[in-house]
Amino acid sequence: TWTMVNIVEEQIEAIRAQVGERGRAICGLSGGVDSAVAAAIVQRAIGDRLTCVYVDHGLMRQGETEQVERDFVAATGVDLKVVDAEERFLSALAGISDPEEKRKTIGREFIRVFEGARAEILAGFVEQSTAEEGDKVAFLVQGTLYPDVVESGGGAGTSNIKSHHNVGGLPDDMDLELVEPLRTLFKDEVRQVGEQLGLPAEIVHRQPFPGPGLGIRIIGEVTRERLDILRQADAIAREEMTRAGLDRDVWQMPVVLLADVRSVGVQGDGRTYGHPVVLRPVTSEDAMTADWARLPYEVMEKISTRITNEVADVNRVTVDITSKPPGTIEWE
């Protein structure tokens, strides 16, 4: 629409004015809509002076990292640095079953990896810098939305964050200034801007997915084997939801692996002792409350049949029919 064209044009002008002729920016991509659209706008404004970083923690769903690498880069031509940190995250998560401990561990490792990559990129900026006295060299792009601004009090004081500890050794003028092109927008507007910028539907209409990824959808310890099982089951469920045209009818549908639970089944001509998975389809306006989605029986049947036929170690598919409250959307 015209409004969205205007917003994009205005933001591009504003970003150029803020970053200047010689400034460079860095943006962390999560695979989600907001960071992708923010990066795409900034890329339009300053081209190859933007570098994106994507931390692959090994907890993504099937094809997700490749999608960021391929589709996002194809659509924007952005300079993307992918950090493969699977090994590191899995080692850090070994032996941990408690949900809060998992989240803290994932969050902590994420920051360490991101800061490391950022320090490297900033060092590169310094080397290539043609900055003159008074020029800001480095900017940090974030996909902050209007509701985020309101929720956090909407105040100022967010425009300058100090370089973090492990960016040590860099000059003082490397302090990062925030660039937040989506600060006045709501989610649906961000999606429109994304379309306006030519981002593919897989990115623009992506359902919410938690930062800690599949790590909080395995009930019990997170291991590579369990992740592989869940990735297969989840891929089948998503494929069937898409095939049935239901992607925009549900808010999201976590698939959860009850990794510490086993139940007896009969598959082929033998007894099995496998794990259940839980489908958690929900409808929601804002994720604060949610209702369980009434999926068509045929779709549930298809998903159940395929998962139990195709995924070794899963012999039972269940559906979660709890609203939020009392249940949260995710199981952890």
Name the site residues for ligand XMP (rule: CB under 6 A): 103, 208, 210-212, 252, 287, 324, 328-330
CA separation for the pair 274, 262 (Å, rounded): 5
Shortest Cβ distance from residue 325 to ligand XMP (Å)?
Answer: 9
C-alpha Rg value of the chain to the nearest Å: 22
Shortest Cβ distance from residue 202 to ligand XMP (Å)?
Answer: 18
Cβ-in-10-Å burial (0-12, 13-18, 19+) of 198 comes to: exposed
CB 304 within 8 A of CB 297: no
CA separation for the pair 175, 159 (Å, rounded): 11
For residues 175 and 291, which CB has a smaller minimum distance to ligand XMP in the complex?
291
For residues 1 and 328, which CB has a smaller minimum distance to ligand XMP in the complex?
328
For residues 11 and 252, which CB has a smaller minimum distance to ligand XMP in the complex?
252
33 assigned binding-site residue: yes
CB 197 within 8 A of CB 6: no
Beta bridge partners of 266: 271
For residues 175 and 320, which CB has a smaller minimum distance to ligand XMP in the complex?
320
CB 17 within 8 A of CB 48: no
Shortest Cβ distance from residue 3 to ligand XMP (Å)?
Answer: 27
Shortest Cβ distance from residue 210 to ligand XMP (Å)?
Answer: 3
User: What DSSP assignment string belongs to 187-245?
Assistant: HHHHHHHHHHTT--HHHHTPPP--TTGGGGSBSS---HHHHHHHHHHHHHHHHHHHHTT
313 assigned binding-site residue: no
Shortest Cβ distance from residue 2 to ligand XMP (Å)?
Answer: 31
CA separation for the pair 37, 187 (Å, rounded): 11
34 assigned binding-site residue: yes
For residues 17 and 288, which CB has a smaller minimum distance to ligand XMP in the complex?
288
32 assigned binding-site residue: yes
| Annotated binding residues for ATP | 30-36
Residues in the annotated binding site: 30-36
